[in-house]
Amino acid sequence: MDKEHAQALYHEMLLIRQFEDKAAEMYALGKIGGFLHLYSGEEAVAVGALNALRPDDDLFTSYRDHGYALARGCDPKAVMAELFGRETGLCKGRGGSMHLADASRHFWGGYAIVTGHLPLAAGMAYAHQHRKTEHLVLCVFGDGASNAGEFHETMNVAKVWSLPVLFLCENNLYAMGTSTREASAQSEMYKKGCSYGIESWQVDGMDVEAVEASIEKAAAFIRSGKGPVFVEALTYRFRGHSMADPELYRNKAEVEEWKKRDPIPRFLEGCLANKLLSREDADRISSEVERQVSEAVSFADASPEPSLNSLFDFVSA
């Protein structure tokens, strides 16, 4: 870890946190509608994972996708504008929060039908294998998704065909209000990968360095042609499942316990201790993030809605 890299990781995580806080505020003001799933608490996973990969490795994820978009380098302005449903949004206001994508960054989308994207990721990996390129596909999903049929079908095919796909399961202990304890016969998700003979392991998802190292190792394995890897990141969402969640299913004490492991101060403290970051660096990054987020909001707010003449764009039949 060098200073520059430490700054980048800290910056990206903080950007996601503040972006999400701002999105929640904008939701309360009615600027954002529908379902809004925030990534607060899980930042280390996206940031660690994407920093371990090449910018042209492919990315598929679920509806909880703001963190991935930002960690992939998408412009916060365009992300916020998408949440506002504006023409300048990443997907021109068509997709909204749950369906972000940026093809120029090999970010192939957030998908809102649970497990719907797993076969797509494996399919893209198949194309890479077929064309003998070195790309790999990162496929992110939750603990809840790992109980569904398409998850198992995709694991099986990925192993049988030895596909260059990296399954990253974010185990945040809940699928909406259903805990993994109640919904999954196997409480350790990586063991589901093991059961298909896939190289699988766990990582502390609240530790950005650990995630980065773990994904680097996984990527090296995949690029050496040995087939898929399954990484389970143990993490926690600090906010409700979506903005509509009254959180009846978990107690405050549990949330507070996890907040003690908040990946952002944890990383910062480590960096301060190791002299990778100074207080001044942290303050500078913090005000830079504040500026980015407030610019994103002003940009989104000032952006036009999609023109009604464009209603039928992007469908040919």
Partner 1 sequence: MPTITYREAIRQALRIELKENPELILLGEDIGAYGGSYSVTKGFLEEFGAERVVDTPIVESSLIGLSIGAAMAGMRPVVELMTINFALKAIDQIINNAAKIRFMFGGQFSAPLVIRAVSGWGQLGPTHSQSFENYFAYAPGLMVVMPSSPNDAKGLLLTAMRGKDPVLFIEHALLYSTQGDVPEGKEGIPLGLSDIKRRGKDVSIVAYSRMVLLALQAAQQLSKDGIEVEVVDLRCLRPMDLGLAVSSLKKTGRALVLSEDWPSCSIASEVAARLQNEAFDYLDAPIGLLVSKDVPVAYARNLEAATLPNVSDIVGAVRALLS
Ligand X SMILES: Cc1ncc(C[n+]2csc(CCOP(=O)(O)OP(=O)(O)O)c2C)c(N)n1
The burial of 103, by beta-carbon neighbours within 10 Å (0-12 exposed, 13-18 middle, 19 or more buried), is given as: exposed
> Of the ranges 7-15, 165-173, 176-184, 212-220, which one interacts with partner 1 (CB under 8 A)?
176-184
Closest CA to 7 of 315, 290, 307, 286: 286
Residues in contact with partner 1, counted by CB under 8 A, come to a total of 43
Torsional sign, CA 116, 119, 122, 128: negative
**Cβ proximity to ligand X, 96 vs 164, nearer residue:** 96
164-186 per-residue burial string, b: 16 or more CB within 10 A, e: under 16: bbbbbbbbbbbbeebebeeebee
Q: Should residue 193 be labelled a site residue for Mg ion when binding is judged by CB under 5 A?
A: no
Site for partner 1 in 35-94 (CB under 8 A): 35, 82, 85-87, 93-94
DSSP category for residue 237: -
Q: In angstroms, what is the minimal distance from the CB of 142 to partner 1?
A: 9
Strands 107-111 and 137-142: unpaired
Amino acid present at 135: H
* Binds 64: which of Mg ion, ligand X, partner 1, none (CB < 5-8 Å by kind): ligand X
Nearest-CB residue for ligand X: 142
Site for Mg ion in 87-146 (CB under 5 A): 142-144
Phi, psi of 28 (to 5 degrees): -65, -30
Contacts with Mg ion by CB under 5 A lie at: 142-144, 172, 175
Contacts with partner 1 by CB under 8 A lie at: 33-35, 82, 85-87, 93-99, 111-115, 144-145, 147-149, 175-178, 182-184, 244-246, 248-249, 305-306, 308, 310-312, 315
